Amino acid sequence: MTIEVIAAPGDAERDAILRVLVAHNDAAVGPTGRRQVAIVLRDEGGAILGGLWGRIGYRWLFVEYLAVPPSHKGRGIGRDLMQRAEAEARAGGCIGIWLDTFSFQARGFYEKLGFAVYGDIPDFPPGETRFFLSKRID
């Protein structure tokens, strides 16, 4: 057996590593029930302007990305995307939602939606803080 650093890793390497981890986790607590969630914001021509990307696993929705174009901020679109994600999570049998954000992003926005900070990493990036938030929906 050798240990190798891959200079330009791709899907094949990630998938091989993930197979080992998934097998371990499935044996310990059962299948994750993992699936992707995408809720997109389209313009009149059908182009995607932003939206929400996440994944459900172990009955929790992780919101990986939420993006609203600057020209559309302040119109309730972010709130609407999060409400649709919560509805999707409930329909999928989730018990909660979790996400992360930075001090220069949207902590207050998520707190207004009922999320609470459960952890943070100072100086990530330097001079800023990364926050981890969750919300129970069960």
| Domains delineated in the chain | 31-136 (3.40.630.30)
Tens-digit pLDDT profile for residues 44-94: 999 999 999 999 999 999 999 999 999 999 999 999 999 999 999 999 999
The DSSP line for 26-47 is HHHH-----EEEEEEEE-TTS-
pLDDT given for residue 28 in this prediction: 98
d(C-alpha 107, C-alpha 112), whole Å: 9
CA-CA-CA-CA torsion sign (51, 32, 133, 95): positive
Give this prediction's pTM. 0.92
Query: For a pLDDT cut of 70, what percent of the chain falls above it?
Result: 100
pLDDT given for residue 101 in this prediction: 99
Mean per-residue pLDDT over the chain, rounded: 98
pLDDT given for residue 102 in this prediction: 99
Tens-digit pLDDT profile for residues 63-72: 999 999 999 9
